[in-house]
Amino acid sequence: MRRAPIVIGATAAGLAGVLSFHTKPASLTLGGLSGASVTRTSPTTSVAAGPPTGQGTSGAGPTSTSLTPSTSTTSSSTTRTATGAEVNYNYGLLSVVVTVSGKKVTKVGIGFLDDGGNFRSQSIDQQSIPILEQQALQAQSANIQGVSGASYTSAGFAQSLQSALSKLHVA
């Protein structure tokens, strides 16, 4: 019984410390993510005449990125683009944009990325996403190796990639 006041006091102090702790989200720099702009679009495939147009920017927030999906049709080959499902990869949401020409994957990029301002996730994403994009181009499918140290990002990327490829009837 001599320890009871000490335990109760320490518990109250610890609880007060936890309840008063506030974090500030970090901003995501997109230097390592190629071709990303800051906009939010719906994950649908649209049809447009001519090549895909450039992406604009809007105030969607510092930690989200999105690319505008479009489909172009030419007489010699068909170029189509689709955005995969937004996948919760334990640190936030991500979706992948895939462009195919015929049945060949020609471009893979990030359609939407929101990590909630988590600095560690931002660092991992900036290093791993370019590698995952290259793996997807080499594999021509969602059967990618992933990146060591980025298991959650790799799994979410592969899941969204498979969703986009399924929309395009490629894999």
| Residue 77 to residue 103: CA distance in whole angstroms | 10
Question: Looking at the predicted structure, is the pLDDT value of residue 96 above 90?
Answer: yes
108 found inside a domain = yes
Reply yes or no on whether the pLDDT at 118 is more than 90.
no
The C-alpha atoms of residue 79 and residue 86 are separated, in whole angstroms, by 22
Would residue 152 count as lying in a domain?
yes
Q: What is the CATH number of the domain that holds 141?
A: 3.90.1010
How many structural domains compose the chain?
A: 1
Residue-by-residue DSSP string for 58-94: --S-TTEEE----EEE-SS-EEEEEEPPPEE-SSSEE
Classify residue 8: in a domain, yes or no: no
Closest residue by Cα to residue 121 from 144, 164, 89: 89
Q: Is 23 inside any structural domain? A: no
Stated pTM of the model: 0.58
Q: Is there a domain that residue 68 lies in?
A: yes
Query: What is the CA 62 to chain-centroid distance, rounded?
Result: 14
Q: Both ends of the chain: CA-CA distance in Å?
A: 67
112 in a structural domain: yes
Tell me, what's the pLDDT at 3? 87
Structural domain containing residue 119: 28-167
Residue 114, token pair as written in the block: 């929101």
Domain assignment of residue 140, yes or no: yes
pLDDT digits (tens, 9 = 90+) for 39-68: 344 443 333 333 333 333 333 334 444 444
54 inside domain: yes
